[in-house]
Amino acid sequence: MLELRSPLRGLSGPIRRYAVSVPTGPWNPAQLGADLALWLDADDSDTITLNGSNVSQWDDKSTKGRNFTQPTASIQPAYLSTGLGEKPSVYFDTATKFIAASTASDWTFLHEAGGSAIFLVIQLQPLGTTAPRYILITRSSPTGILHGIRDLSSGAFPLGTLFENGSTTLPYSPAPAASTPVNETHIIEWEHGLARTNDFGIYVDGVEKANVNYTTAPVGGFTADAPLRFGSAQMYAGEMVVLDVLPSTEDRQKMEGYLAWKWGGI
Amino acid sequence: MALELVNKLPYDHPYRWDGTAVGGVKLWRPDELGADLALWLDAADASTITLNGSNVSQWDDKSGNGKHVSQGEATLQPQYDSFQLNSLSTISFVDDILGTSSPLSEVATDWSYTGVMNFTESNPSTADAFLSSNTSASGTFQMDIRSVGGNNALSFSGKDDGGENNTPTALYQNPYNTITGILYCSVDSTGVKTSFNGVQVDSSTATFRTGMTVPVRLGVNRSVANFLNANHAEHVFTTSVLSTEDRQKMEGYLAWKWGLEANLPAGHPYKSTPPTA
């Protein structure tokens, strides 16, 4: 806490004293305050509950308490101490493994017009199938959002989104502009919101790779019917940060800078 | 791996070079040399490139001295971004020339040059050069390709203090056309020293301290007749010989930026991590 005294000492009247909170240390997602909807950090081993070498719970570091769990041992991901370079990771070695939040209604904001953003640090491995692998899902059936990746035989790995509102299934898009290589660590962001020029965007390593507008059905107006689920593809995961607003350019770049220096800096 | 994700951020991303605000560090760059920086051409910085279609009509100097290199004739303009190093753009010269409009007067008696090049010409003629500041009658400096002991060698040459043309140093032997690396040379009263990828490869006691009297040219030799086709990534001139510490920082900066860190020798202080400011 930094205490500042009024410079107006020579004037009549009471001298007011001000107390100003000054954040200390470098920027991190906690400084997004109430906009921070989820923060999973594999580099913070205190947030990982192990079942042997597997992850049974990954605690949310936001104030929302949206911990991710997987009670079934056979589909729990592994915790590796040096999975992403020299940093630890949560490793999904088959597409059957995933970890999930507990309450579907917590994730309605992912479908609302106000917008949202999901930042990931992951290293995908070859999928072995041309069918989409949905890394992030809030749908059982029929409504929800699915963010995923496909393995086209051409060697392209387009990222995309399937957006279902119960009556309209929007195409698996935008693709293939957002293609990202496998076997490399990347920062991937999915974001949506009507404040964007187009409703949906995908950024890879700080570069906008997709920017599309779904004109056949508007964003928003329905709720998720399943809590957010993470996994279902072979990958190493380092960190996931979810915002319940469309981030400003400044905040998006801070997040990219924070993740880049933490997971691929010095 | 160090900088794996940081290097993937866009060149002009606000945290690409200085991550101190978000938990990272500030990386060393040539502007840390301050007034010693005479010329800094950086092909990875798209904001410094003026295009004529896909060709480069001007490449701006980032030193602050305004020594931009340019070419008004379209047929002599090099191509931008047809070859990349570490996912960064370079400028491809094929019988092309970019030059300053005036001599690099900041470079006088003691100075250094550091650059990153990818050489592509498989069968060069003697005296093809990629960087020069000479005419056949006057001047001091040229980086060229010459026959040395039956092999082609990249060399530093020029007119020494006694007025004689001299070819004192060989930077690298055959096969030069596969070379991608960091070139360095220094000039002071003790002579000329040349390095390749952080290792000194030659030296001479001949001195070349008469200053540059004609504009710097990229892509061609001092007689403006012999072209050396190559991809140019970065060029830096300084107004003094770099200290060992600064030379190693320059090598480390260039290596980690252009993906050449594995080429630095064991024991180099920036072999495993890049230099910080």
A211 versus A14: which is more confidently predicted?
Answer: A211
Query: With an 8 Å Cβ cutoff, are B6 and A261 in contact?
Result: yes
What's the whole-number mean pLDDT along residues A152-168?
Answer: 63
Query: With an 8 Å Cβ cutoff, are B273 and A206 in contact?
Result: no
Q: Please, which pLDDT band fits residue A76 given cuts at 50, 70 and 90?
A: very high
Nearest Cβ partner for B22 among A121, A187, A258: A258
Residue B26 at interface with chain A, using a CB cutoff of 8 Å:
no
Instruction: Give the percent of chain A with pLDDT over 90.
Output: 45
Asked whether residue A52 carries a pLDDT value surpassing 90, the answer given is yes
Query: With an 8 Å Cβ cutoff, are B3 and A263 in contact?
Result: no
pLDDT of residue B195: 85
pLDDT of residue A180: 65
Measured between beta carbons, the chain A residues lying within 8 angstroms of B8 are 186-187, 205-206, 260, 264
pLDDT of residue B222: 76
pLDDT of residue B165: 54
CB neighbour list of residue A201: distance below 8 Å, 6 or more residues apart: A189, A190, A191, A192, A208, A210, A211, A212
pLDDT of residue A4: 39
Distance to chain A for B276, nearest Cα, Å:
10
B161 versus B271: which is more confidently predicted?
Answer: B271
d(CA B245, CA A227): 55
ipTM topping 0.95: no
Identify which of A14-28, A185-199, B21-35, B152-166 has the greatest average pLDDT. Answer: B21-35
Alpha carbons within 13 angstroms on the beta-carbon side of residue A147 total 23
Quick one: closest CA in B to A28, which residue?
B22
Asked whether residue B230 carries a pLDDT value surpassing 50, the answer given is yes
Distance to chain A for B259, nearest Cα, Å:
14
What's the whole-number mean pLDDT along residues B239-253?
Answer: 96
pLDDT of residue A40: 98
B21 versus B227: which is more confidently predicted?
Answer: B21
Quick one: closest CA in B to A29, which residue?
B22
d(CA B212, CA A88): 54
A147 forms beta bridges with A136, A161
Distance to chain A for B181, nearest Cα, Å:
23
d(CA B94, CA B64): 28
pLDDT of residue A111: 77
Quick one: closest CA in B to A24, which residue?
B21
- The rounded mean pLDDT for chain B is 85
What's the whole-number mean pLDDT along residues A12-22?
Answer: 49
Asked whether residue A178 carries a pLDDT value surpassing 70, the answer given is no
Cα of B93 vs its chain's centroid, Å: 14
pLDDT in tens, B33-83: 999 999 999 999 999 999 999 999 999 999 999 999 999 999 999 999 999
Residue B19 at interface with chain A, using a CB cutoff of 8 Å:
yes
Asked whether residue B122 carries a pLDDT value surpassing 90, the answer given is no
pLDDT of residue A132: 73
Asked whether residue A218 carries a pLDDT value surpassing 90, the answer given is no
Asked whether residue A209 carries a pLDDT value surpassing 50, the answer given is yes
Distance to chain A for B4, nearest Cα, Å:
5
Long-range contacts of A21-24 (CB under 8 A, 24+ apart): none
Residue B13 at interface with chain A, using a CB cutoff of 8 Å:
yes
Quick one: closest CA in A to B12, which residue?
A206
Asked whether residue B145 carries a pLDDT value surpassing 90, the answer given is no
Quick one: closest CA in A to B16, which residue?
A257
Measured between beta carbons, the chain A residues lying within 8 angstroms of B5 are 121, 185-187, 205, 259-261, 263-265
Residue B15 at interface with chain A, using a CB cutoff of 8 Å:
yes
What's the whole-number mean pLDDT along residues A42-68?
Answer: 97
pLDDT of residue A137: 82
Nearest Cβ partner for B9 among A27, A85, A205: A205
Measured between beta carbons, the chain A residues lying within 8 angstroms of B273 are 266
Asked whether residue A238 carries a pLDDT value surpassing 90, the answer given is yes
Identify which of A103-117, B124-138, B166-180 has the greatest average pLDDT. Answer: A103-117
d(CA A126, CA A136): 17
Q: Please, which pLDDT band fits residue A1 given cuts at 50, 70 and 90?
A: very low
β B37-42/B230-238 pair status: antiparallel
Helix (H) or strand (E) holding B252: helix B244-258
pLDDT of residue B78: 98
pLDDT of residue B59: 98
Query: With an 8 Å Cβ cutoff, are A260 and B9 in contact?
Result: yes
Of A137-141, A256-260, B71-75, the range with the lowest mean pLDDT is A137-141
pLDDT of residue B200: 86
Nearest Cβ partner for B3 among A206, A258, A265: A265
CB neighbour list of residue A198: distance below 8 Å, 6 or more residues apart: A211, A212, A213
Report the CATH fold assignment for B29-263: Jelly Rolls (2.60.120)
Nearest Cβ partner for B19 among A28, A205, A257: A257
Q: Which of residues 255-274 of B touch A (CB under 8 A)?
A: 273-274
Distance to chain B for A174, nearest Cα, Å:
21
Asked whether residue B144 carries a pLDDT value surpassing 70, the answer given is no
Nearest Cβ partner for B15 among A85, A207, A260: A260
Measured between beta carbons, the chain A residues lying within 8 angstroms of B3 are 264-266
d(CA B24, CA B21): 7
Measured between beta carbons, the chain B residues lying within 8 angstroms of A262 are 23-24
pLDDT of residue A6: 40
pLDDT of residue A8: 39
Quick one: closest CA in A to B275, which residue?
A266
d(CA A34, CA A63): 8
Query: With an 8 Å Cβ cutoff, are B1 and A262 in contact?
Result: no
Q: Please, which pLDDT band fits residue A97 given cuts at 50, 70 and 90?
A: very high
Asked whether residue A215 carries a pLDDT value surpassing 60, the answer given is no
Query: With an 8 Å Cβ cutoff, are A257 and B4 in contact?
Result: no
Query: With an 8 Å Cβ cutoff, are A27 and B2 in contact?
Result: no
What's the whole-number mean pLDDT along residues B136-153?
Answer: 54
Asked whether residue A21 carries a pLDDT value surpassing 60, the answer given is no
pLDDT of residue A150: 65
